[in-house]
Amino acid sequence: MSKQDEAELILKLYELRREPTMRKARDWVFLEFNPQSIDDVKNALFGEHSGYLRMVMTYWDMVAALVNHGAIGLELFNDTNGEHIGTFAKIEPLLGEARGLFSPQFLVNLEKLIDATPNGRARTAAARDRMKAVRAEVAAKRAQAAAQP
């Protein structure tokens, strides 16, 4: 595949992320979905936001498969994307349990992409730490706002 073809595919994938339902799903995953246990994952998968979670997880697993199979080069992909790392950071601690419950293939392409990315696991851990800090800051601001008359 030529670099131009790869660039066009990246732009097409970006367009898909801008689709209104996908945008809502991505917002929900990044702002609201913070699983601490496999029960949190199950509740999300079988709750009102099931479609959002499935949409985001399968989107990034599909995109990872495209990179893993050479449709988009790893370096170009990583230079133009980072959201997949944050998505993986949300589920990585629970991945083994999720695969045991749902499917041994659950996010296998995304994990392979993370492992192929230079410092991929370290970047994932750093993303998880940043998200935890942001959640704590947001909670503190909400508590402060609620305490004011």
Total-model pTM = 0.91
Q: Averaged over 102-116, what is the pLDDT?
A: 97
Residue-wise pLDDT for 50-60, tens only, equals 999 999 999 99
Look over the chain and give the mean of its residue pLDDT values, rounded to a whole number. Answer: 95
Instruction: Indicate if the pLDDT at residue 27 is higher than 90.
Output: yes
Quickly tell me which residue has 């349990």 as its tokens. Answer: 97
Which residues fall within 8 angstroms of residue 114, CB to CB, at 6 or more apart?
84, 85, 88, 92, 120, 121, 123, 124
User: Could you state, in order of their start, the residue ranges of all structural domains in the chain?
Assistant: 3-147
Instruction: Indicate if the pLDDT at residue 1 is higher than 80.
Output: no
Percent of the chain with pLDDT over 70: 100
Identify the residue with better confidence: 89 or 139: 89
Hey, what are 20's tokens? Answer: 């209104």
Q: pLDDT band at residue 43, thresholds of 50, 70 and 90?
A: very high
Q: pLDDT band at residue 139, thresholds of 50, 70 and 90?
A: confident
Residue-wise pLDDT for 75-103, tens only, equals 999 999 999 999 999 999 999 999 999 99
What residue type is assigned to position 102 of the chain?
F
Which range, of 70-74, 99-103, 110-114, 141-145, averages the lowest pLDDT?
141-145
Predicted local distance difference test score (pLDDT) of residue 149: 79
Hey, what are 92's tokens? Answer: 């990585």
Given a contact cutoff of 8 angstroms between Cβ atoms, the answer to whether 19 and 43 are in contact is no
Hey, what are 91's tokens? Answer: 């589920």
Work out the number of other CB atoms within 10 angstroms of the CB of residue 55.
19
Quickly tell me which residue has 């730490």 as its tokens. Answer: 129
